[in-house]
């Protein structure tokens, strides 16, 4: 008998409180969001030609052994997935008896953000193949102002005057060469 009463009591309680319990099972909802960030690998270099002249005014001297310029900039936008990137460079031609080297240096100013990578020492630019200028470039951006971007230091000089000076030739209005910079995934 006590059992039946208990069952009845429970049934009554159930109908009394049932409505309160219902409806609370949906007080949670959710939204799905797709957050997309594609890889980026963009470069742009300042377009102003760089003029380098080697000469002398003293009889008996070779021309200036080398001359440098740090006016060029290389802007970058990079978003990596995991592997870091490498910046490499090559040159279209180099006058006989001379070499052209390139060294990238840290950006000037405060517009750069992210992982700028590690800079190699000055590299002689090859005509075939390429020289590695910066390694371990991560996700980064340089800014877009005139002075933003990696500083590119070009040095044009006599290769080894004691043995190759005989190959040096004067040029009227200068020899125009093109340096190609490439951003790649790490090898």
Using CB under 8 A, list all residues that contact another protein: 1, 4-5, 8, 19-20, 22-24, 26-40, 42-44, 75-77, 79-82, 110, 113-115, 138-144, 148-149
Nearer to another protein, 83 or 93 (CB): 83
Closest contact distance (angstroms) between CB of 22 and another protein is 7
Question: How far is 5 from 93, CA to CA, in rounded Å?
Answer: 103
Closest contact distance (angstroms) between CB of 143 and another protein is 6
Closest contact distance (angstroms) between CB of 186 and another protein is 14
Closest contact distance (angstroms) between CB of 87 and another protein is 13
Nearer to another protein, 95 or 143 (CB): 143
Nearer to another protein, 114 or 126 (CB): 114
Give Cα separations from 146 to 53, 117, 178 (angstroms). 24, 21, 21
R_g (Cα) of the chain, nearest Å: 34
Give Cα separations from 126 to 10, 29, 78, 143 (angstroms). 90, 61, 25, 29
Nearer to another protein, 23 or 166 (CB): 23
Closest contact distance (angstroms) between CB of 29 and another protein is 4
Neighbours of 65 (CB within 10 A): 11
Nearer to another protein, 91 or 137 (CB): 137
Q: Which single residue is written with the structure tokens 């500083």?
A: 151
Contact residues for 146 (Cβ-Cβ < 8 A; gap 6+): 46, 73
Question: How far is 41 from 45, CA to CA, in rounded Å?
Answer: 14
Answer yes or no: are the C-beta atoms of 85 and 114 closer than 8 Å: no
């Amino acid at each position: 008998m006590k059992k039946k009463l208990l069952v009845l009591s429970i049934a009554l309680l159930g109908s009394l409180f049932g409505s309160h319990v219902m409806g609370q099972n949906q007080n949670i909802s959710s939204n799905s969001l797709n957050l997309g960030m594609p890889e980026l690998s963009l470069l742009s270099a300042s377009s102003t030609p760089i003029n380098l002249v080697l000469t002398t005014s003293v009889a008996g001297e070779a021309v200036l052994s080398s001359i440098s310029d740090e006016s060029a900039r290389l802007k970058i936008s990079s978003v990596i997935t995991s592997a870091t990137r490498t910046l490499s460079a090559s040159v279209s031609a180099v006058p006989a008896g001379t070499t052209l080297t390139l060294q990238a240096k840290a950006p000037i100013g405060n517009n750069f953000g992210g992982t700028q990578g590690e800079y190699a020492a000055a590299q002689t630019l090859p005509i075939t193949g390429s020289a590695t200028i910066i390694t371990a470039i991560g996700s980064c951006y340089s800014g877009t102002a005139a002075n933003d971007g990696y500083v590119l230091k070009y040095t044009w000089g006599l290769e080894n005057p004691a043995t190759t000076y005989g190959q040096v030739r004067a040029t009227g209005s200068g020899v125009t060469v093109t340096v190609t910079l490439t951003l790649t995934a790490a090898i």
